[in-house]
Each structure stands twice: as structure tokens, then as C-alpha cells.
Homo-oligomer: A and B are copies of this chain.
Amino acid sequence: MKILSVVGLCEILSRMGSELFFQQALRHLENDFSNWRHFKKSPRHATLYPFGVIELMPCSDDEFYTFKYVNGHPRNTKQGKMCVVAFGMLSDVQTGYPLLLSEMTLLTAIRSAAVTALGAKYLARSNSCHLAIIGTGAQSEFQCLMLRQQFPLTKLSYYDLDKQAMNKFENNMRGKNIFLQACDSIEATVGDADIIVTATAAKSGNDLIRPEWLKKGVHIHAMGGDCPGKTELGRAVLKNCKIVVEYAEQSLDEGEMQQMQTTDLYGELWELVSGALPGRENDQETTLLDAVGFALEDFSILKLVHELTEHPDYSDICVNSAIIPDLSDPKNLYSLISQIEANHRKRL
């Protein structure tokens, strides 16, 4: 089994350039969403604790099976740890044999930003130039850089309760030819924005935005609320939005949609991507992608990484580890033990 560490992934990004990697991630994602019907899908398996969640997110087509392990522990940062870490695996459907184990903390940030860009491609005004970010945690820079692939962004306003996180964000985004506006309230941050991303570590039912703060025609991408009981927006905002989700069966349990009826849902993202449903229809409507994260997104980026690590340019980067036994007789698993016993007898 190939193992791709964080260091290995960064080496790939370094060799190909992170911009190109971001573009490829977005292209793969769009392609996979357009093939939605070919995938075996299910809501993720979540184990809930009072202080966090651990999830397994499987997805499969006829060729590959992938899953991601990911947690969500908002209190982790207080002890110097990340709120969200992840790893993933890709295996061969024909044999069930695992092929690649990969870091996915960084890949999750990248694929989540790709989802934002993909949704905004169909739901935001194409001339959107002002992006507002609520929550400048680990995800925030990736959101901006991926959205910049799709939109002529010139202005970035942002807000976080944690001033250190705001400073970190500003340092990372400086010199990227985009005007940075640190704000001291959510109202000031979103007031003039064309696209709003909410990426907070929502702990319960929040109500971050008042409807009267919003400009006509804004697109909101809400990604921080993603567990039963955790939401970022109130009904007052939601009821005026054209709401799109990734996968209704999961989002009705986990997303902003927890507060709404199924009939309030406009559609699933793949319907927009495949052309089955129109996305934005005029410059006046308020749109919302209620994003919770879906396993197909992990499939998509894991497959990209698998393809890259098979390519000669990057084939030296993975480490191989004997996680799966390689037996001369596949029914003789016990040979592993009999070898030990034979060595033991020799030593006596």
C-alpha cells in the first residue's frame, strides 16, 4: 500500500505548483459531480461525543472505493491541536485491496474550497468581485484562493472572534493582489459582499447574519454547520434563499436544512453541474449552498492524488508499507505464524 504523508503531498504541490493542483482539483470535482449517478452514495457514519464527532465517509464507483476518516473537535485549538484532521484511503473495487493511504487534512481544506468554487460557479453572479469570509480558521485561505480561480476578486473582507486568527489570515493573504479589509463585526463584513463564506466552528444553532445586512443577489456558502444541532444561519435568512445542498439525505440531518422542510430545498449541486436544473436565474435572487461535506468530494481528490502518485513525475514520493500481507499461497495466512514458530525453534 502506498502511503502519502503531508510532507509527500506538499512535495507534489511544490513540484507542480499549488495553483495547478487547485485547478485540477476543481476540474476533477466538477467532472465527478456531473457523473453523480455512477456513484454508490450513503450518508456518512458519524460517532458523536459531547465534545466532538468522528466520521467515516465512504464513496465508490465501479473502479475505486474511497473513504475518509475525519474528526471535528472545536475545543482542540485550545490545546494546540487542529479542530479537524483527516486521512483517506483509495482501494481497488475488483479485489478490495487498498492501494493508497493519504493524509487528508490538507486535501480536505482543498476539496472543501473546490466545492465552494464549484457551487459559486453556478450560484454566484459571474462578476462577483467582493468576497466576505466569516471565520478565518484553517479553511479560510483555501476558500479565497480557490474562488479566485472562478471570479475576478478584488476585495476581501473578513471577521473572526479570534483576533489572532484574523492576523494569521491577513499575513497569509498579503501580497496576493487583493484588497484586504479586516472588519470588527459580521454586519460590516458582509454588507457589501457578492459572495459570503461562513466557515465558523459552529457549536450549536447560530444566527450569524441578519437578512437586512445582505446586498441583493448575494451568494452565501455556509460550510461551518455540519452536524446535527450545529447551524450557522437562522430561518430568517434561509427562507429568502434558493437553497442547494450536496446530498439531500445527509444535509437534511446535518446542514442549515435541519431548520427547514424538504420542500424548501431547490436542488442538489449535481443537478446544477449536469444541467438538469438552472443555477442562478437572475441578479436579484439570494442563493445558498448549504455545504456539509460529502464523500464524493473526498473520492474526487483522492483519485486525483492517486493518479498523480502513479505518474512518473511523482512516483518517487509515496512510501510503500506492508499493510497487506503478500503470500505465495493466498489461503496460507497461517504461514506468517509458522515462519515465526520455525525461527523460534531454530533459536532454541
Contacts and interface: CB of A to CB of B under 8 A. Distances in A.
A332 interface: yes
A308 interface: no
Contacts of A13: 337, 340
Interface string A1-26: 10101110010011001100000000
Contact of A80 (B91, B141, B330): B330
A87 B98 contact: yes
B56 A67 contact: yes
Given A168-B329, A323-B6, A331-B168, A96 B77 contact: no
Contacts of A47: 40, 42, 58, 60, 65
Interface stretch (A101-109, A205-213, A219-227, A274-282): A101-109
Interface stretch (A68-76, A241-249, A253-261): A68-76
Contacts of A5: 321-323
Interface residues of A, number: 84
A44 to B, nearest CB: 9
B58 A335 contact: no
A109 B333 contact: yes
Interface in A74-131: 76-77, 79-83, 85, 87, 89, 91, 93-98, 101, 103, 105-106, 109
B10 A330 contact: no
Contact of A76 (B60, B138, B330): B330
Nearest to A328: B80
Contacts of A344: 14, 17
Contact of A103 (B83, B94, B323): B323
A137 interface: yes
B91 A96 contact: no
A327 B334 CA distance: 42
Q: Which of A40, A54, A343 has the most C-beta atoms of chain B within 10 angstroms of its own C-beta?
A: A54
A96 B105 CA distance: 12
A96 to B, nearest CB: 3
A293 to B, nearest CB: 15
28 contacts: A5-B321, A10-B336, A14-B344, A18-B340, A47-B58, A47-B65, A49-B93, A53-B96, A54-B60, A67-B69, A72-B96, A76-B96, A76-B330, A81-B330, A82-B325, A82-B327, A85-B97, A101-B323, A103-B323, A105-B324, A106-B337, A109-B333, A136-B331, A137-B331, A139-B333, A140-B334, A164-B329, A168-B329
